[in-house]
Amino acid sequence: MARRVQVAVEDDGLGMSVEDQQSLFQEFYRVRTEKTADIPGTGLGLSLVKAIVETHEGRIWVQSEEDVGSTFFVELP
């Protein structure tokens, strides 16, 4: 049986819609709403994290609810 470790990072921030979650790990993707308009960034961070995690045969995903927060999960062998 393969052993795996899972890390979860949870916040109580803005959260995001299901539609935004589907695109979140794409290069240069930014969640664009009135609430996020002033938040700086390039949209590269999560795509880079995904590439690193997948290089190590792991996976990354998010669970989020608007106005409640998000939980990001990373699972590695």
pLDDT tens string 55-73? 999 999 999 999 999 999 9
Please classify residue 46 by burial: count the beta carbons closer than 10 Å to its beta carbon, then call 0-12 exposed, 13-18 middle and 19+ buried: middle
What confidence tens digit (pLDDT) does each residue in 26-52 have? 999 988 888 888 889 999 999 999 999
Provide the mean pLDDT of the chain: 94
Does the pLDDT of residue 1 top 80, yes or no? no
Q: What share of the chain is helix, strand, coil (3-state, %, to 5)?
A: 25, 25, 45
Q: What is the pLDDT of residue 32?
A: 83
Please give the Cα distance from 3 to 70 (Å, whole number). 26
What confidence tens digit (pLDDT) does each residue in 13-26 have? 999 999 999 999 99
